[in-house]
Amino acid sequence: MALIVQKFGGSSVGDADKIKHVAKRVIETQKAGNQVVVVVSAMGDTTDELMDLANQVTDNPSPRELDMLLTAGERISMALLALAINAAGAQSRSFTGSQAGIVTDSKHGNARIAEVTPDRIREALDEGDIAIVAGFQGFNRETRDITTLGRGGSDTTAVALAAALNADVCEIYSDVDGVYTADPRQIPAARKLDYIDVESMLELAAAGAKILHIRAVEFARRHNVDLRVRSTFSTDPGTRVISGNRGENMEESVVSGVATDKSQTKIIVVGIPDLPGKAAELFNIVAEAGANIDMIVQNTATGVDVDDKVSDISFTLPKGDSAKVVAALEANQAKIGYRELEVDHEIGKISVVGAGMRTHSGVSATLFNALAKAGINIEMISTSEIRISVVTDITEADDAARAIHTAFGLDSEIEAVVYAGTGR
Ligand code: ADP
Ligand code: ASP
Ligand code: MG
């Protein structure tokens, strides 16, 4: 008997009919002779709506209470799915994250899973039940409080449970047929991938492709979980996330996909003295403010005398972190000795990712030519071994992504299907 973990995202459980449809699929999996653990997200855009409500009652919600509020979303869908499964004649039981043994650190809003002790899940499975678990949540032993794993974190709940239960496969069900060469909502010519190597998937997730939560991919890599992305609304086998390359007979593609991220801000620190230790001073302050920075670019110093030489340092960070970083930098202006700060929220980051970049030259030339031909100005560039990212004005980001997708020959003749969801 195989053990399968199936995770259904918000759009898959968006209303009562969809929940009944999921119930049917889950029962079929069990009837095919498997033990089934189901992880669910909150219905539709519930998490965003709860967040909006919190923001209507306060400008500064306490992280503890926000987690209490947001975890309610997943409790609604887990119970409704259990009711639907039981009404359809099978046996199921739902569990909150803490009942399922998801133990995390105490960082509200973005907690990391420290340990998984799924005793109650095993008991339920041993008794022939389908176990349903609320995604996105856990609890901390020291504070005894409920935590959340960060937006999109139900994927991570599923993979963590699959690892702890030594499941045969972890299937992530969403509103598209699998991992595509780009977000099919943004680029309908995107092509579904049958396989993607785990390194490229990590880079795509980090670059803003929200089809998989990055920590779910990290977990799968570390614990060798057989991870697949599929659609709730079709029978397409989806995409397998695999370690290494795809075996002897298949050539590694140069580029796996393109991702767009419009959630970042660019800060330019203008006129920093060109002296050893200044970058360290600057980024210590940014780190103390608690921000995760992404791209960093330092311009060549300008100025006539050695003593007068100044340079500019630009970096990007999540929009939500920018206010606290700006405040921290302003408080330290005299100490660092910079002239001024420029803050630009209207940026888009486009990344092209592919394991084959390690061995192929000319990838950056193709990318820059594509943007030049489209008349799009590049504001920043950064690269890793298997990724190139550029920052453009936010109004040009979609055009840039499309131009790059076409230039790398990723366009498909068949239009991608998006089955449900609002893309929020
Ligand atoms: P769920 O609610 O099922 O977790 P998400 O909204 O978190 O679903 O993720 C699915 C969405 O991810 C898709 O509807 C699609 O718009 C978006 N997406 C972004 N990049 C990609 C990609 N490369 N392949 C597939 N989907 C992508
Ligand atoms: N409901 C949570 C969110 O919207 C978690 C998830 O869907 O994975 O972020
Ligand atoms: Mg998701």
Least confident range of 48-62, 77-91, 183-197, 303-317:
303-317
Question: What span, in angstroms and rounded, lies between the C-alpha atoms of 11 and 96?
Answer: 20
- The pTM assigned to this predicted structure is 0.93
Q: How far is the CA of 211 from the centre of ligand 1 (A)?
A: 4
* Ion ligand 3 — residues with CB < 5 Å: 9, 152
Coil vs helix vs strand at 11: helix
Average pLDDT along the chain? 94
Sheet containing strand 102-104, edge to edge, reads: 113-116, 102-104, 137-139, 146-148
Are 101 and 157 spatial neighbours (Cβ–Cβ below 8 Å)? no
* pLDDT for the residue 249: 46
Buried b (16+ CB within 10 A) or exposed e, 155-179: bbbbbbbbbbbebebbbbbbbbbbb
Between 251 and 347, residue with greater pLDDT: 347
**Long-range own/partner contacts, residues 373-378 (CB < 8 A, 24 or more apart):** 373/403, 374/399, 374/400, 374/403, 376/400, 376/403
Question: What span, in angstroms and rounded, lies between the C-alpha atoms of 277 and 235?
Answer: 57
Is it the case that residue 41 has pLDDT exceeding 70?
Answer: yes
Closest ligand 1 atom, CA of 418? 14
CB atoms within 10 A of CB 126: 9
Between 247 and 354, residue with greater pLDDT: 354
The tokens describing 195, both together, are 């396989």
Closest ligand 1 atom, CA of 424? 6
Domains in the chain: ranges and CATH: 3-250 (3.40.1160.10)
Note the pLDDT tens digit of each residue in 211-238.
999 999 999 999 999 999 999 999 999 9
Going by pLDDT thresholds of 50, 70 and 90, the confidence category of residue 353 is very high
Question: What span, in angstroms and rounded, lies between the C-alpha atoms of 96 and 135?
Answer: 8
Q: What is the pLDDT averaged over residues 39-68?
A: 97
Q: How far is the CA of 18 from the centre of ligand 3 (A)?
A: 17
Closest ligand 1 atom, CA of 173? 3
Task: Report the Cα–Cα distance between both ends of the chain, in Å, rounded.
Answer: 38
Ligand nearest to the CA of 78: 2
